[in-house]
Amino acid sequence: MRIALDAMGGDFGPEVTVGGAAAFAKASGATVLLVGDPDHIEPLVLQHDTANLKVVPASQIISMDDHPVQAVRRKPNASLVVAAKLVKQGEADAFVSAGNTGAVMAAAFLHMGRIPGIDRPAIVSPVPVITGEAILLDVGANVDCRPQHLLQFAGMGHAYMQKVRGISEPTIGLLNIGTEISKGNELTTRTYQLLENSELNFIGNVEGREVFSGRTNVIICDGFVGNVVLKVAEGLAGLMLGFLWKELVSDQATNPGGLPAKKVFQQLKRTLDYTEYGGAPLLGVDGVAIICHGSSDTLAICNALNVAEDAVRAGLRDSIADTAMKLGGEGL
Amino acid sequence: MRIALDAMGGDFGPEVTVGGAAAFAKASGATVLLVGDPDHIEPLVLQHDTANLKVVPASQIISMDDHPVQAVRRKPNASLVVAAKLVKQGEADAFVSAGNTGAVMAAAFLHMGRIPGIDRPAIVSPVPVITGEAILLDVGANVDCRPQHLLQFAGMGHAYMQKVRGISEPTIGLLNIGTEISKGNELTTRTYQLLENSELNFIGNVEGREVFSGRTNVIICDGFVGNVVLKVAEGLAGLMLGFLWKELVSDQATNPGGLPAKKVFQQLKRTLDYTEYGGAPLLGVDGVAIICHGSSDTLAICNALNVAEDAVRAGLRDSIADTAMKLGGEGL
């Protein structure tokens, strides 16, 4: 198992990516190909006692401000471009980056290609439910979708939960503004029909208040709605925790039992914390690609590499291809 | 001031609506026209010591399961239809209902008509920000929108915050998936241009995480996205409060300071609680119409009547008409 990591990606660059790679490599025994500037990366590698880190030189960097598609075309030696190509060339089994999200998508799309039957790759995000396992997709790759795209997202979500999370018949819900069949906008009412006629375990419309309840394993929406949902949740959770923390934990006068409260808060914060999950798979590209938050820390990078390894071992790519074929995508 | 209240509306009917009306009438001195079945309403009115409750007979009821538009057409004597007509006929200054939301919209739309320059009335919801004042619209009246509609929503939000909440130059934000101009789907990128060229105090795109931060006074989105945002927030807040309440308040062993914690929770719950706000104005219909949650309790009905009174006193209808004219709606 070899995973190509964009060592220059993320807000903190190699200082964080190399540390995350080392932690992952030691625990898993897999090899991480650290793609980027050797002068910057090699001294950091020497600090870690592992033979499983290899440096692959890449002379260019795509910054967070670069225009995604233009940058990928104009900088063929950028670290995230080289990392994506390693997968295509069979040199790596997966590609992980905390760099410019648009550029990571563009590089994966241009250099890895799509799985037959999938028109639009989608970003899948774990949903932090207090009990159970759930994912939401798309959360940002496709802002304007057609019903056929949402059907394909459902198929990819099905394959992901089945293969990577081991849920035999994952339930699929369509994010909508009411549970009745007739509810929704043009996109969701037409998607409903496609999902109902598919062989997926479709349980119907799911309202916003069910996203975090864990009632369904897979929640489908277009990338605009999915992105708004994730960020609304992030913002609200942060505000609520901030308010309660201030009132209950930091102010010892109001709360003599502050210490146990602190532990409870840390537990909830972990449940809600994106960095604990580490990476969002870009499903539908022909190979495994994992997108990390720009602000990823060492733990998040390590977890993203774990997500990549799990996806490769589970045979996710082939499972998506099978599901797409059954759904009657363009690959037929 | 006379406000027509659909006394039969809501999950609890007259038992709750009459109580809410009585509390409002006593405090405000305004008259509430209780529209519905006199046999059911009058005995309840007698329990309250106020001359400001009048019964207006209506022999039919639209249930929560009725098809909204069909029901409004087929039941001309339904309580919510009669209440909407009272406004049109000049017998009442505003119309409030906790009945079938779709039917309330249809009745207001059909019987009150639209303000010139407004193509699509929109439901506005207060946003429970911990500090500041904010509203979100549309939250469910229009699931498929064009950029011109969103511009009109912005104008109506501007008029509402200015007239009803007394904010002289309310800030307007467009809910989007990134702050840059180029971000978004076709609807939001085109709406951005319209808002930027308008005379409104447009401050640009606002991401999901800013919805509850209070950074802008008015947040604009289509009714599908707005509805999902509200319900996601409701669901997540409920789950988080439930979890923390269980760990911190109900279990006295973990938290000997449970009592002060309880007070803090109640404070936050009030901030987030829809029923405290009571009613969501349907902006753009020709007159004041307030939509309440089906599950509204006495307090929520009372607050909705307050919202209606504030909107009438503030001259909201005329202010929306002025703003719509300035934005260059069809009324010009």
Class of domain B120-275: alpha beta
Asked whether the beta carbons of residue A143 and residue B185 sit closer than 8 angstroms, the reply is: yes
Longest CA–CA span in chain A (Å) reads 67
Backbone angles phi, psi at A34, to 5 degrees: -85, 110
**What whole-number distance in Å separates Cα of residue A43 and Cα of residue B79?**
78
Backbone angles phi, psi at B54, to 5 degrees: -120, 145
Q: Write down the domain spans for chain B.
A: 1-118+284-332, 120-275
Q: Are A164 and A311 in contact (CB under 8 A)?
A: yes
Residues of chain A by 3-state class (helix, strand, coil), percent to 5: 50, 15, 35
Rounded average pLDDT over A251-271 = 64
State which H helix or E strand residue B157 sits in.
helix B147-163
Asked whether the beta carbons of residue B223 and residue A268 sit closer than 8 angstroms, the reply is: no
Which stretches in chain B have pLDDT values below 50?
A: 329-332
In the predicted structure, residue A130 carries a pLDDT above the cut 70: no
**What whole-number distance in Å separates Cα of residue B194 and Cα of residue B185?**
15
In the predicted structure, residue A259 carries a pLDDT above the cut 70: no
pLDDT at res. B259: 58
pLDDT at res. A137: 95
Chain A CB contacts of B186 under 8 Å are: 143-144
Fold adopted by B1-118+284-332: Isopropylmalate Dehydrogenase (3.40.718)
Least confident span in A12-21, A27-36, A159-168, A323-332: A323-332
Q: Are B274 and B238 in contact (CB under 8 A)?
A: no
pLDDT at res. A246: 75
**What whole-number distance in Å separates Cα of residue B272 and Cα of residue B265?**
11
For the domain bounded by A1-115+284-314, which CATH number is listed?
3.40.718.10
Asked whether the beta carbons of residue A268 and residue B185 sit closer than 8 angstroms, the reply is: no
Q: Kindly state whether B127 is in contact with chain A, defined as any CB-CB distance less than 8 angstroms.
A: no
Backbone angles phi, psi at A68, to 5 degrees: -50, -60
Handedness of CA B161, B163, B167, B169 (dihedral sign): positive
Percent of chain A with pLDDT over 90: 73
How confident is residue A158, by pLDDT bands cut at 50, 70 and 90? very high
Architecture in CATH of A119-277: 3-Layer(aba) Sandwich (3.40)
- The identity of residue B243, as a single letter, is F
Nearest to B256 among A130, A231, A256 (CB): A256
Regarding predicted confidence, which is higher, A128 or B94?
B94
Q: Is A311 exposed, middle or buried (0-12, 13-18, 19+ CB in 10 A)?
A: buried
What is the DSSP code string of B56-91? EE--B---TTS-HHHHHHH-TTBHHHHHHHHHHTTS
Q: How many inter-chain contacts (A to B, CB under 8 Å) are there? A: 158
Rounded average pLDDT over A35-60 = 96
pLDDT at res. B22: 97
Please state the pTM of the whole predicted model.
0.90
Q: Are B108 and B285 in contact (CB under 8 A)?
A: yes
At A49 the three-state DSSP class reads coil
Domains A1-115+284-314 and A119-277 share a fold: yes
Upper half-sphere CA count for residue A328 (Cβ side, 13 Å): 8
Rounded average pLDDT over A306-330 = 91
Edge to edge, the sheet with strand B94-97 lists: B53-57, B31-36, B2-6, B94-97, B288-291, B280-283, B122-126, B135-137, B218-220, B172-175, B202-206
Rounded average pLDDT over A102-125 = 94
Upper half-sphere CA count for residue B128 (Cβ side, 13 Å): 21
Mean pLDDT (chain A) is 90
pLDDT at res. B255: 55
pLDDT at res. B166: 92
Rounded average pLDDT over A148-166 = 96
In order of A118, A282, A305, B224, B230, the CA distances from A122 in angstroms are: 10, 6, 19, 21, 24
Asked whether the beta carbons of residue B227 and residue A236 sit closer than 8 angstroms, the reply is: no
pLDDT at res. B40: 97
Asked whether the beta carbons of residue B264 and residue A254 sit closer than 8 angstroms, the reply is: yes
In the predicted structure, residue A75 carries a pLDDT above the cut 60: yes
pLDDT at res. A331: 36
Q: Kindly state whether B236 is in contact with chain A, defined as any CB-CB distance less than 8 angstroms.
A: yes
In angstroms, the separation between the Cα of residue B245 and the nearest Cα of chain A is 10
Q: Are B208 and A235 in contact (CB under 8 A)?
A: yes
How confident is residue A126, by pLDDT bands cut at 50, 70 and 90? confident
At A83 the three-state DSSP class reads helix
